[in-house]
Amino acid sequence: MTKKKALLISAAVAVICAAFWACAPQKPEPVRVGGIPETEFDPEEWGKVYPLHYESWLKTRDPKPESSSVYRRGWDEDEIVYDRLSEYPFSALLYNGWGFGIEYNEPRGHYYAVTDQIEIDQSRTKPGGVCLACKSPFHKTYTEKYGMKYLKAPFMDAVNMLPEKMRRTGPACIDCHKQSDMGLRPNKPHLDRGLAMLGKDKFSRQELRTIACAQCHITYYVPRDRDKKVSGDVMPPWTGSKWGGIPIENIIRDLLSDFRRIEWKQSVTGLDMPYIRHPEFEFFTNNSTHFNAAVACADCHMPYTRSGSYKISDHNVTSPLKTEMKACAQCHTESSAWLKKQVGAVQDRTASMLNRAGYATAGAAKLIEMANVEKGRGRMIDAGLYAKAVEMYKNAFLRLVFISAENSTGFHNPSEAGRVLGDSVAFASKSEALLRQALARAGVSVPEKVELELQKYLNNRGAKKLRFRKEQEVKDPFGLQKLFSQLP
């Protein structure tokens, strides 16, 4: 049979099928899987076999401005993004000393993962090629092939090592799927190392629907040498933890265990610090109602959707609030308005606690600064009290960062958010009390209200500040900041 004949026959078959389809009840079809070459990275090529998925995946590029999401704002065509430091001014003080204190934006869609990294203030990508770990599908291959030469390369040099067409490609088909049968499997060496630490090597399908996201939505540290220079690929701080139980206490213990995890110096306190990034996986899996009910990340962020006569997983990964709560409706019969209200209530409470913990921690930071200044002037500050205060302070700070950096504003695990922030407030208060005692013993009179000088930290951020939205509001649902009059 000639090629032309075969085509004609298949076209005729297609017409007959289509006619049948039109009469038959519209029951959605699952998508059939076909092979992709082992070495194919390019989503456009995968898209030739799975056009509906490719199209859906590309939609993470579309702006999501009509957002009913209060805490996770969308972005408009003008690409001016929302600035977290303006939303939570105390964080400008606390993150001063490194990139996060200069530019820290609300996330956009997956399409922008590498682009946003290229466009952000360069202080944020100082570590170099290693920053591509949670962004580029080539990270694993390049780490294996080029090692430290790639990991330590200046960020743009590392980007330019990638094939030209795909330098800006973010989370891609190959990150989540096996080429042969489209089964889910991760593509990130740091996650393999993390899962080994958890002692976990067998996964149910539902677990894989969470693991796919845990490739990037976990916290990690960039290992450093004594001069804070990059010394390896990223690592999750999961020592002593288990699957379904990576509490903040374990993360803090791991991060404070040695100098390799120390990534920056906090300006206000002069303390060497580790950091915590987007811990969605850790937070969600630590005994949340949904995790315990075997709900996966993909259930809420990649709901089943109809595309023509097919039923596919929505690859336009985004907030369920930006898609009318359709994801929730797969399991919940309540109205979308009711569900939205539940999310809003959790987020308002979390944001309120974040402010309490944030201002308490910032207050303690300013007292550490004061103690350091007094030491510099030759005053004797009780070393025991000071050391204890610093330990309490680090515990307050890292708990605060854990919930701040987690992107659901508490929703993924509401009661855990309350617990962690409550502890943060307690540690910060204890630290403040110890510092007041140490300063008083040294004969320093501490004012009742510690001046945070927030405007100083907020305004001292260079040209990048111009990209921010002017009308952006401070997130303070119950007016706590006015109560403490920390803002001008």
Per-residue tokens: 185: 């499997």
Min CB(394)–ligand HEC separation in Å: 26
Give the other-Cβ count within 10 Å of 286's Cβ.
Answer: 21
Nearer of residues 69 and 355 to ligand HEC, judged by Cβ: 69
Residue 103 CA to its chain's centroid (Å):
15
- DSSP letter, residue 412: T
Helix 383-405 and helix 336-376: axis angle, to 10°?
150
Nearer of residues 248 and 268 to ligand HEC, judged by Cβ: 248
Nearer of residues 340 and 366 to ligand HEC, judged by Cβ: 340
- Residue pair 391/461 in contact (Cβ under 8 Å)? The answer is no
CA angle 249, 476, 67 (to 5 degrees): 95
Nearer of residues 58 and 487 to ligand HEC, judged by Cβ: 58
Q: How far apart are CA 56 and CA 68, in angstroms?
A: 21
Nearer of residues 301 and 436 to ligand HEC, judged by Cβ: 301
Min CB(171)–ligand HEC separation in Å: 4
Min CB(155)–ligand HEC separation in Å: 14
Give SS3 for 413. coil
Q: How far apart are CA 168 and CA 225, in angstroms?
A: 30
Min CB(149)–ligand HEC separation in Å: 22
Min CB(165)–ligand HEC separation in Å: 15
Q: How far apart are CA 400 and CA 394, in angstroms?
A: 10
- Residue pair 222/262 in contact (Cβ under 8 Å)? The answer is no
Q: What strands lie across the sheet with 310-313, from one edge to the other? A: 29-30, 310-313, 304-307
Min CB(400)–ligand HEC separation in Å: 18
Nearer of residues 56 and 431 to ligand HEC, judged by Cβ: 56
Min CB(302)–ligand HEC separation in Å: 5
Q: How far apart are CA 437 and CA 443, in angstroms?
A: 10
Nearer of residues 63 and 444 to ligand HEC, judged by Cβ: 63
Beta bridge partners of 161: none
